Structure 1
Amino acid sequence: MASSVSFDEITEHISPASLKREFDGNYVSAHATLHVLQWNTLAQGLSNPENNFIRVKNETIAFDTRKWRILEQILIRKPDLCALEEVDTYDCFLQYHLPKYGYTCFFTPKPKSPCLGFQHDSANFKGPDGILLCFKTDLFDEIQRYHYQKAECDTDQKPAFFSIFELKHKPSSANIIFVGTHLKAKKQFANIRSDQAQTIIQYLTEHYSTRAHIIISGDFNGEADEPFYDIIRKAGFSSAYRTVLNDKEPLFTTWKFRENEGIEQEQCRTIDYIFYKSEGLVPIAILKLPSKEDIGSNGLPSNEYPSDHLALEAIFNINL
């Protein structure tokens, strides 16, 4: 059983202590609740400072230390459901540890993973990255799992990449549709992200009732003023963080410094979201985002946090 497994095997590998975070809201509820984690973990293959993070040192992203920090951040608050992107450490690490802590996993590598372009980096290359969905085995019955993907070059067919768990939540008997996705990166590809969002919504509309308990969680690689965001909201979804934060998204979910043609560039944006169908789910608490001062002047990843993206966590009441 997961409860008999000691957390010491993780914490003994972690020094200094990880960035501390707390929940905002009342997560003690008389209702059946659902605790969801959304996190782009940063692929190990993309973590090399020479290619990505100008203020980060090699020892900060060393795999032998960083893998334990990733595992810690997945498990530390014991979420019921996890959607993780940029995972390239499943086959070599996570698949051996997450089941010990009571999780059932579903990993799908990304087509044309950018990690494949760094196979020469023997210290960091771990294979293609992808989406990893997890659920607490003792809380759910799995009904089915599904993965959808089309090649990125196939733009006429609205390329998309998402995974789905269809689950029965034992405490409430509610069916939960849990979707994890990772949309196309870079600002100039807003039109592709729009197509990808439309593909996800079309699939959900064709396969599930409008009153289904659906969560779409992911790194959407775009801010709230982009078309994809309106497409999802107009389909009846709300953003958990925006709901709890009085109609505002967080100030940022990713913060890093990169180099472009010898010039340092700061990237600080909100591009990660947990969307939910408001008919069946009500967010009652969210994991607070740290400030820049909390993180430190070099941004992310850091010695206290293993990814350039901050994990989002939301706790929902389940309405039947």
Structure 2
Amino acid sequence: MCSGAFGLEAWFSQGRVPAYCSIHPELEAGVQCDICAKLKHAIPVHKSYHCTTKCFVQHWRVHKEMHDKAASAGRNSATENSNGMFRGNTYSNGGETWLEVGRSRCYTPCADDVGLVLRYECSIVDTHTGRAETTSLGSITTSRVRPAPNPPTRRMIPISFPDMKLSHSGGRFTMLSYNLLADLYASAELFDHCPSWALAWSYRKQNLLRELLSYKADIMCLQEVQSDHYEHFLAPELQRAGYTPIFKKKTTEVFTNNSYAIDGCATFFRRDKFSLVKKYEVEFNKAALSLVETLQNPAQKKAALSRLLKDNVALIAVLEATEASRQLICVANTHIHSNPELNDVKLWQVHTLLKGLEKIAASADIPMLVAGDFNSTPGSAAHHLLVNHVVEKNHPDLMNDPFGINKPHEKLVHDLSLASAYSAFADAADTSDEVEKQRQQLDPNYFEPKFSNTTREENLTLDYILYTMNALVPVSLLELPSEAELEQHAPGCRLPCPDFSSDHIALMAEFQYRRHGA
């Protein structure tokens, strides 16, 4: 029997493997920048590699900016890595060369580790003498360390409306809308352009959380939030960041990856700015059941239910500002059905939601915000109803309505005075270069973003933030990336990718209350 005290000694080592492209980390490098090599103490070595000459040329402008910054910084070489982490001795093990990088039970990879593998080893140590009793109890080797996501920073672009009188009693607030791409829909077949490691939820969740926190939104309306990911990750993480969460899941689970999963809409609001007054949950299936009961033919009822029961939901929250004004605001977060062949169902769901919001507005004269993934492009009947408050009788989407769910067409109206936030770029008085640049990212016919979602075939606008014009004014908007800018991070402009972890982009607007009666 041994006497004395023993403990575990742990250390991490870095192994040498081939270099990989800094733009397409799934591809081995074929080109290294000579300038980066000369500035190796100021630029992490992994950023010097590209897969092909074409890749290097395409991304030269951004790459050159890195040279300029490194040269101006004038940093000198050091024996520590870029994070100031410990670097120990080089040793051989089984014919492989390893560099000791840390002596602890935890280690956070840094820029110098990118493209390499890490090994964790431990041994039993006599705590009195410090002598190892065994050379190694075992080791664990990681996969290759990949570069951290580096998406471009999207700024809020100020806009102004000099003729509008703004309230001085109510402060400003920001609202974000974002479809996160639920893991149950993130199949390798559908997103075959995305490396498997970048499509995995274990990678995407941290990237999405980092992005969400970077926006610092006061209210967040998120769609395609998987229920288990909400419960075990998003809700606790965002609660720690100061948000109050509410969630409404869809009404039917989906079988995927040998288990059942379900997604829904999640709304988060900063608890230092708002408190929850009331929550409403909209299940379009319940409304569909009531509608179908009016049909007389049993066969027609069955067919109508098959067409209408799509499990989509909306989550409505009435919030009260914590500031002195105690201003109320109603926030609706929804995800409308996606099938492009069922425009009648999309229109019916949007109309059903708007009728519910009208009832809330009638009970209390409060500003309204409506956000989400409407799966409806600009110019569709659903979009017309949202922003024009009416649908023309001869609109093409009304031609395909086999069960008359949107008839008579005269009922397709609402009086919520909604406007799309991003159309404010077109209406604003500003003539600055940054606003003009954003106007170039709007569809010239409908003044909506040119895209908010990317697919194999095309880029589409499906997401919107809408507000009541008689109560709110947008004062800044999150800038829209151009396709050329997106191409630098997502080859072929296809999302998701290592830097952008959803197939949608986030939209965000900052609002200020209008002066009452103005």
Normalising by structure 2, what TM-score?
0.53
The Cα of 1:287 is off from its aligned counterpart by: 0.6
The Cα of 1:215 is off from its aligned counterpart by: 0.3
Distance, in Å, in 2 between the alignment partners of 1:286 and 1:126 is 38
| Amino acid across the alignment from 2:505 | L
Task: Name the residue aligned to 1:310.
Answer: 505
| Amino acid across the alignment from 1:313 | M
Distance, in Å, in 2 between the alignment partners of 1:152 and 1:205 is 18
The Cα of 1:183 is off from its aligned counterpart by: 0.4
Task: Name the residue aligned to 1:95.
Answer: 235
The Cα of 1:153 is off from its aligned counterpart by: 10
The Cα of 1:131 is off from its aligned counterpart by: 0.3
CA distances 1:157-184 after superposition (whole Å, capped 9, x unpaired): 5766210111111234211100000001
Partners of 1:14 and 1:65 within 8 A in 2: no
Partners of 2:249 and 2:313 within 8 A in 1: no
Distance, in Å, in 1 between the alignment partners of 2:447 and 2:504 is 19
Partners of 1:211 and 1:280 within 8 A in 2: no
Task: Name the residue aligned to 1:132.
Answer: 266
Unaligned 5+ segments in structure 2 are 1-108, 111-145, 161-165, 293-307, 390-413, 428-445
CA 1:283/1:187 → structure 2, altered by over 3 Å: closer, same or farther? same
More strand by share: 1
The Cα of 1:14 is off from its aligned counterpart by: 7.7
CA 1:194/1:18 → structure 2, altered by over 3 Å: closer, same or farther? same
In the alignment, structure 1 residue 248 sits paired with structure 2 residue 447: yes
Distance, in Å, in 1 between the alignment partners of 2:242 and 2:260 is 24
The Cα of 1:127 is off from its aligned counterpart by: 2.5
- Which stretch shifts more, 86-95 or 305-314? 86-95
- Which stretch shifts more, 86-95 or 307-316? 86-95
In the alignment, structure 1 residue 239 sits paired with structure 2 residue 434: no
The Cα of 1:152 is off from its aligned counterpart by: 8.5
| Amino acid across the alignment from 2:449 | P
Distance, in Å, in 2 between the alignment partners of 1:138 and 1:112 is 34
The Cα of 1:222 is off from its aligned counterpart by: 0.7
Q: Size of the alignment, in residue pairs?
A: 295
Partners of 1:47 and 1:61 within 8 A in 2: yes
Task: Name the residue aligned to 1:197.
Answer: 350
Partners of 1:244 and 1:283 within 8 A in 2: no
Partners of 2:255 and 2:261 within 8 A in 1: no
Partners of 1:44 and 1:126 within 8 A in 2: no
Task: Name the residue aligned to 2:316.
Answer: 164
5 Å-filtered alignment, 1:274-289, equals: 274-289=465-480
CA 1:58/1:232 → structure 2, altered by over 3 Å: closer, same or farther? same
The Cα of 1:26 is off from its aligned counterpart by: 4.6
CA 1:245/1:302 → structure 2, altered by over 3 Å: closer, same or farther? farther
Task: Determine helix, strand or coil for the equivalent of 1:248.
Answer: coil
Percentage of matched positions with identical amino acids: 25
Partners of 2:372 and 2:463 within 8 A in 1: yes
The Cα of 1:255 is off from its aligned counterpart by: 1.2
In the alignment, structure 1 residue 143 sits paired with structure 2 residue 277: yes
Task: Name the residue aligned to 1:7.
Answer: none
CA distances 1:66-118 after superposition (whole Å, capped 9, x unpaired): 111111222112111110000012022112211000000011111225xx132
Task: Name the residue aligned to 1:53.
Answer: 191
Task: Name the residue aligned to 1:44.
Answer: 183
The Cα of 1:56 is off from its aligned counterpart by: 1.2
Distance, in Å, in 2 between the alignment partners of 1:256 and 1:187 is 13
Task: Name the residue aligned to 2:244.
Answer: 104
Task: Name the residue aligned to 1:66.
Answer: 204
Distance, in Å, in 1 between the alignment partners of 2:183 and 2:476 is 30
Partners of 1:48 and 1:58 within 8 A in 2: no
Task: Determine helix, strand or coil for the equivalent of 1:138.
Answer: coil
Distance, in Å, in 2 between the alignment partners of 1:211 and 1:238 is 17
Task: Name the residue aligned to 2:367.
Answer: 213
Unaligned 5+ segments in structure 1 are 1-10, 258-265
